[in-house]
A and B are shown apart, each in its own frame.
Chain A
Amino acid sequence: MINLELISAEIFISLSIMFLLILGVFKKNSSSLVHNFSISFLLITGILILNNPSESSVTLFTNSYIIDSLSSLMKIITIIGGAFVLSISKNYLKISKIFLIEYPILILCSILGMLVMISSNDLIVFYIGLELQSLALYVLASFNRDQLKSSESGLKYFVLSALSSGLLLYGCSLIYGFSSSTNFNVIANSIDLNHYGLTFGIVFILVGLAFKISAVPFHMWAPDVYEGSPTSVTLFFAIVPKVAALTVFIRFLYVPFFNMIDQWQPIIVFLSIASMIFGAVAAIGQSNLKRLVAYSSISHIGYTLAGLSVGTNEGIQSSIIYISIYLVMNFGLFCCLFMMKRNDQYFETIEDLSGLSKNHPVLSLSLLIILFSLAGIPPLAGFFAKFYVFKSVIEQSMYFLAIVGLLSTVIAAFYYLRIIKVIYFDKEKEKYDTDHSIWLKISLSFSTLLILLYFIYPSKLVEIVSRINVI
């Protein structure tokens, strides 16, 4: 008898998607209602996950679906991310005239896909989850369909992502061919270290996954899609899918293929170093803030992968800490982007921030804190994120990775400083509107305070994450 209580969150979210669809179709002008409903449904889903009755790891559906501390934590992070995105994007959608019922429903769909991904213990289940979230994301990217850039970014994302899904599927089939199973645990037991076919399979799947988290050299889509999509979708892109993809990365590398660490470790190290350096260098020339966020997220993914590459539980934990702190920082940054609005028009280039500190001291102080934190300057939260990652990297004597990573933070510091320079040192421009929704203000101050005051009590996050033992 399968204990369905364990997947109550997934069941609930599927039901609510159907309910919202019906509600949206039959009730006229129900965008706002659907939007609010979906936020509250997400929160209920979160509570259902928190209520997860089993403490140890449990598998369902003939061992293909796993519920453990890793999946619960990552699901919570995903859902918090999704709920925050929905809660602050309402005004933006209204002003951009894309306040439609499909938006929250698509976000819920992709979150459902992510939940499946996070819990997958089988290549097929993982692929289903991945495709569910990707399909929703394609539509979201081109959500502002009257705008050329948005449609273009959706199409670009679709074509490239479909290609990578193909590669991924090919990898899955190779692995199935050489290990005669799609289940992670079975693969782990029946693995034959000398088969090149398996190595190829791993490489193909890693390419597909690297594409999803936009690690160099599979990052080409990110800047265009980030720039073209509506800002609220960019925010979603920048944080939420990465959490799910990271979980799959962790599970895929550490459950079936942990014995082949010698073969995948160089790949991950390469992805990590390439992303850190490329993300830092390429961001220097950008003038559009959304493109800049794309490059900065590439380099942040590099740090996350650095933690992942070391092959210890500490490394995994440091990656999770990194991605959670990164989520909060990006969140704050996008709140600031949403506040750059004048006469119902949003501004998104660095020049538009010129002299912001004269007219909007609070907003610029928050930006200052967030940007220094992204640059990894102590005592802000971003420093601790990097600190944990490099601690786990150095504990495995991977000095080269650590030094390259830290040097690329210096390069990255340059472009963050450039934004701060524009905000604080340059001449002021016209004022922006100040009539922001209360949610936006609360979200911004919450994330800023979290970043600023993290150093007073940094142990809590470590404690939560230290429960995760994958190996």
Chain B
Amino acid sequence: MNFPILSSLIILPTVGALFLLFSKDKNSNTGKYVALFTSFVNFLISIYLWYLFDPSTSDFQFVEDRKWLVEFVNYKIGIDGISILFIILTTLITPLCIISVNNTIKIRLRDFLIAILVMESLLIGVFCSLDLVIFYLFFEAGLIPMFLIIGIWGGARRVYSAFKFFLYTLLGSVLMLVAIISIYWITGTTEIIQLYDLGIDTKYQNLLWLAFFSSFAVKTPMWPVHTWLPDAHVEAPTAGSVLLAAILLKMAGYGFIRFSLGLFPVASELFTPLIYILSLVAIIYASLVALMQEDMKKLIAYSSVAHMGFVTLGIFTITQQGIEGSIIQMISHGLVSAALFLCVGVVYDRMHSRLIVTYGGLVSVMPKYSILFMLFTLAALGLPGTSGFIGEFLILMGAFKDNFLVAVIASFGVIFGAAYMLWLYRRVVFGNLINKELLKISDLNNSEKFILWSLALPVLFFGFYPEPLINTIEISVKDLIGMYNFNLNMFGAEVQK
């Protein structure tokens, strides 16, 4: 048996967290270096994993299979082209979060780092689990650290937001648990590879699809269950918002691809119009709401809703371009929204205000900040040459193939996106410097520069050269669609009989 590289990816951050738990001092920097070290090592391992990864096959790789629950569930993990990118995203974002705590977290630093590291373990677990029960375990367990992150280190209405986040997500997920147990009852297994081969009887698919949908829709978040997201984002500390926007939301998109499409093709086909409508509403409505926001974090939160609308739209076009676009859009949104929240965090740390009216004319006091902020603004609105463009372009291409009207409406979303992002940028960075307080603040310090540039580089790199991403996911997506169509025909024929 080979070295269990995926398990070590999952366990390593927890080991770091345990080390922190038993360390004596609560606020010194040693803890930070330990956390940074473990998460950075994890990042290196994941890059090495990408290097080892063989993109020419859609089979799951680095598979580990251990006995766990007797004759019922095995601990089975593995990755394919779709999941590896999310793992790398997770391991990239976590160290940046840890660096960013410098200025933001004033109390109980050690506990915060523990929460972040545990969160990283759970997120990696979500993306590599190959068993529904294991997936559910990681998926739900993430609620605990996130609840604490929002509740302990959040802003004024943190309690309300933390409760809303927790209860919304839990409510969505319990139905998924019913569905998972039902799948076991119907097919006798919860292992994803076996389920892909077996397929699930058509008469159960619709209800099961809806149960999974209820969980993923809350997590995505799709309109109309998106309302927890702005609250959670606004109240969470910067690092919490970053984790939430960059990775937690992606669990749902990943779930849609892996489970909804993979396991229930007939139901997915049936419910595609529903997803289209909800996605379009999310894109248009969230963009309009974002236009009117006065709080920067809220604006970016609503833009996340809109962007995730594109993602769900792309996934359910069930075309090569659409799904590839969705995955790239998720990766790109992971980088860009993380960066935008960090940008807000930078000025918030200096001025302690998230309101747009506080700022204006920042370009004259913070030129370096303004350049980076502009880069991420442009990436968020999908300017060619940034990773945001590749994702949106592919999604719209897939949508045009599938349904012309939907694609046209979605394209309006791109325009709205440009409107609210550019308007935000104009109001914050340009204009006259009215607020005299702003004169006192300093430009980016080294750690902020490091964080933002390490997000900016991949955004630009993949904007000009998306080949590595597309290469990694291409075969997996192709085979997923192949399997989808095969199952659809097989079960569809059954239905017609």
Contacts and interface: CB of A to CB of B under 8 A. Distances in A.
B148 A424 contact: yes
A394 B181 contact: yes
Interface stretch (A112-120, A293-301, A454-462): A454-462
A379 interface: yes
A262 interface: no
Interface of A: prevailing SS: helix
A429 interface: no
Contact of A390 (B141, B151, B181): B181
A417 B184 contact: no
Interface in A369-394: 372, 377-379, 383, 387, 390-391, 394
A5 interface: no
Contacts of B141: 377-379
| Contact size range, A | 20 to 34
A164 to B, nearest CB: 34
Contacts of A420: 147, 151
Interface residues of B, number: 31
Q: Which of A378, A410, A459, A466 is most buried by chain B, counting CB atoms within 10 A of its CB?
A: A378
Interface string B133-176: 10011001101100110011000001100110011001100110
B380 to A, nearest CB: 32
A458 B178 contact: no
B1 interface: no
Contact of B167 (A379, A390, A410, A424): A410
B3 interface: no
Interface stretch (A121-129, A133-141, A398-406): A398-406
A402 B185 CA distance: 14
Contacts of A394: 178, 181-182, 185
A425 interface: yes
B178 A399 contact: yes
Contact of A458 (B69, B140, B171, B177): B69
B255 to A, nearest CB: 16
Contacts of A383: 137, 140
Nearest to A393: B181
A462 B73 CA distance: 13
Contacts of B167: 410, 413-414, 417
Contact of B136 (A378, A403, A458): A378
Given A390-B178, A394-B181, A407-B171, A378 B68 contact: no
Contacts of A403: 175, 178
Interface string B166-204: 110011001101100110110000000000000000000
A427 interface: no
A425 B154 CA distance: 10
Closest 9 CB pairs of A and B: A406-B174, A378-B137, A459-B70, A394-B181, A378-B140, A410-B171, A425-B151, A379-B137, A391-B181
Given A377-B140, A414-B163, A421-B162, 16 more contacts: A377-B143, A377-B170, A378-B140, A378-B141, A387-B181, A391-B181, A394-B178, A395-B181, A395-B185, A406-B175, A407-B171, A417-B163, A424-B148, A424-B151, A425-B152, A459-B68
18 contacts: A377-B140, A377-B141, A377-B170, A394-B178, A403-B175, A406-B174, A406-B175, A406-B178, A407-B174, A414-B163, A417-B167, A420-B147, A421-B163, A425-B152, A425-B162, A455-B137, A459-B69, A466-B70
